[in-house]
Amino acid sequence: MRRPDRLSQALGRTTSRRALLLGGVQLAFAGGLALRMRQLQVDQADQFRLLAEENRVNIQLIPPTRGELFDREGKILARNSPSYRIVIVRENAGDVQDVVARLSQLVSLDEEDLIDAIEEIRKSPPFVPVTLADRVSWDEISKVAVNLPALPGITPEVGLTREYPQRGDFAHVVGYVGPVSDYDLSQIEDPEPVLRIPRFQLGKVGIEAKREDVLRGKAGAKRVEVNATGRVMRELDRREGEAGADLQLTVSADLQNYVQARLGEESAAAVVLDVDSGDILASASAPSYDPNLFVRGISVADYRALNEHQYRPLANKTVQGLYPPGSTFKMITVLAALEEGMIGTEDTVWCPGHLEVSGRKFHCWKRGGHGHVDLVTSLKRSCDVYYYDLAVKVGIDKISAMAKRFGLGVKHDLPMSAVATGLAPNRDWKERVRGESWRVGDTANASIGQGYMLSSPMQLAVMTARLATGRSVTPRLVKSINGVEQPSGAGAPMGLNENNLRVLRRAMYAVCNDRRGTAYGSRIIADGYRMAGKTGTSQVRNITEAERRAGVIRNEDLPWERRDHALFVDFAPYDRPKYAVAVVVEHGGGGSKAAAPIARDVTLQALYGGTPPLDAYPTKDRDRIAAQQRALNQPPPDDRPDGSDRA
């Protein structure tokens, strides 16, 4: 009997352990469930409440107000103007076709836009507003408002759109905005949600694009209650956005208007710099275009006309255009030789009309030559042989290094589109890029700004400002952001021999004021305002030996695209430099004929702060200048919102 008792006791102990284990598991499960319920109901209550609320609350973005642009005197260059539009809500309209027909009797509706709107109405939910007409005039909005009882579902609305009151005069500086495209979004790594707001505008070119970061501002937001179908029932709260910053530019609207008008119908560019601060006072590229055409999307016909124009109105020639600098580069060549101590200012070179280098003749522009010339005479009369001879002594590497010190072959940090670097070539460049060895003949070509040398009008203006001051002047376009002054471009001393610079300035003065100077015909005669400058003519075609023997064909007898480029640079006043000017006239022929007269007029306009007196000009020019002033000094563009160009 004792054995069964022991078995019973063993079985009892086993049963107790199992019961305890099972009870423990059940207790642990119940505890975990209770813990999870507490976590869901207490710890995460706010999160689930928000998830539930999101079923009926939406957050919508409020577009920020874009910052405006002003010139240095506070004149508006880009502003936000009221834009009126007419929208329709399908569920309130009833018979959409009938309502649109009645509306068309009051407002002119574009047929293509109307077709697109009808298609959008068909695809959109019935309560979503669809735009039927945009940029509607105030008169048309008034007509619609008066007739609203007969136009169910129609609502006139007002918004903001970008407007450029100066139109073409600032197109290449300010640029323009336009609707955000799929391409724009694809170029941005992580596009902000505000960019997906319908009709939102984004900077496309110019300072509008380059300073988009400060002009755009920050979007606001509003919380709205919606029903199950997505209809907005009411607004719960809103947080206003942050407006974009206002930018004051360094440019002068009055001077820019004049320069643009003075360039006229030429394919040309002009830059005016303040040599004390580096401020860009004018940056004009001709011909220009009306940026207002792009704000809502330019038509195919208008864009084709601009894009296929022979004079390239869409290109900003001041920073994007690259040209052989021609004889305007000669100051760099001679300064490289002076700084190396290879020549003296009184040393002369014999010019018989050509110089033979490595078995090849390099010709001077004057077929019979200039005879014995020193530094001042060579620059004054623009003798090419003097610089061929210098270049062979100095070498391209030192010339290239000096060019870069003066801002040539350097990409300046400017908030403008397509700023070009230009080219100040040396031996390494040719070997690396073209896979060829540098030749002495390349150096001879480079010494007079030909061959591989390329520079923009902006770079030439910077070069001239540095020659005038001896400081590393850098161009500045933004004067202040929301009233905060931006760093000056005055620059530090360049560490050059002041005596060498003084001789170069005297030679540039002779170019304009000596009777044998190449720019004497475009001189300023007013005391205290005289300028120092340099003409330049850069070839765009090769002249064969046969043509030289027969007589070089005149520019006037060549097709426009084969004529030489005309260039001129100057600073003034000579004895206390204030402004530096660079002008390039594409295929204009000689610099003294085409570019120098424009530069002289622009320089005087800057010096006098307006129309200069006739006695600042040579007597023989005054009648012509008076007529020119009457033609050019028209009132600036008015403030009409239609964006039409000035006549």
Confirm whether 643 is domain-assigned. no
My answer on whether 229 and 259 are in the same domain is: no
My answer on whether 212 and 258 are in the same domain is: no
My answer on whether 200 and 282 are in the same domain is: no
For residue 100, CA distances in Å to 87, 90, 147, 156 come to 11, 11, 13, 14
CA 476 – CA 278 distance, rounded (Å): 6
Three-state secondary structure call for residue 88: strand
My answer on whether 214 and 303 are in the same domain is: no
Confirm whether 99 is domain-assigned. yes
Confirm whether 208 is domain-assigned. yes
My answer on whether 231 and 299 are in the same domain is: no
My answer on whether 195 and 325 are in the same domain is: no
Phi then psi for residue 165, to 5 deg, are -65, -25
CA 449 – CA 34 distance, rounded (Å): 87
The structure tokens listed for 112 are 């293509």
pLDDT at res. 185: 85
My answer on whether 582 and 596 are in the same domain is: yes
Confirm whether 349 is domain-assigned. yes
The set of catalytic residues is: 327
pLDDT tier, 646 (very low <50, low <70, confident <90, very high otherwise): very low
CA 278 – CA 334 distance, rounded (Å): 25
pLDDT tens-place string over residues 262-298: 999 999 999 999 999 999 999 999 999 999 999 877 8
CB of 279 closer than 8 Å to CB of 489: yes
Confirm whether 23 is domain-assigned. no
Chosen domain end from 249, 283, 302: 249
pLDDT tens-place string over residues 202-248: 999 999 999 999 999 888 776 767 665 555 567 677 777 789 999 99
CA 535 – CA 204 distance, rounded (Å): 36
Chosen domain end from 218, 249, 280: 249
pLDDT tens-place string over residues 527-563: 999 999 999 998 877 776 666 666 677 777 788 788 8
Confirm whether 17 is domain-assigned. no
Three-state secondary structure call for residue 613: coil
My answer on whether 144 and 168 are in the same domain is: yes
Percent of the chain past pLDDT 90, that is, above it, reads 60
My answer on whether 263 and 234 are in the same domain is: no
My answer on whether 357 and 232 are in the same domain is: no
My answer on whether 203 and 292 are in the same domain is: no
Chosen domain end from 249, 273, 300: 249
My answer on whether 214 and 262 are in the same domain is: no
Three-state secondary structure call for residue 423: strand
Confirm whether 188 is domain-assigned. yes
The structure tokens listed for 546 are 């046969």
Helix, strand, coil shares, percent, the chain, to 5: 40, 20, 35
Q: Residue 110 belongs to a domain with what CATH number?
A: 3.90.1310.10
528: left (phi over 0), alpha (psi -120 to 50) or beta: left
Q: Residue 496 belongs to a domain with what CATH number?
A: 3.40.710.10
Three-state secondary structure call for residue 82: strand
pLDDT tier, 641 (very low <50, low <70, confident <90, very high otherwise): very low
In the chain, the number of structural domains is 2
3-state secondary structure 122-191: HHCCCCCCEEEEEEECHHHHHHHHHCHHHCCCEEEEEEEEEECCCHHHHHHHHCEEEECCHHHHHCCCCC
Confirm whether 13 is domain-assigned. no
Domain that holds residue 523: 253-632
Question: Would the CA dihedral through 537, 541, 545, 546 be positive or negative?
Answer: negative
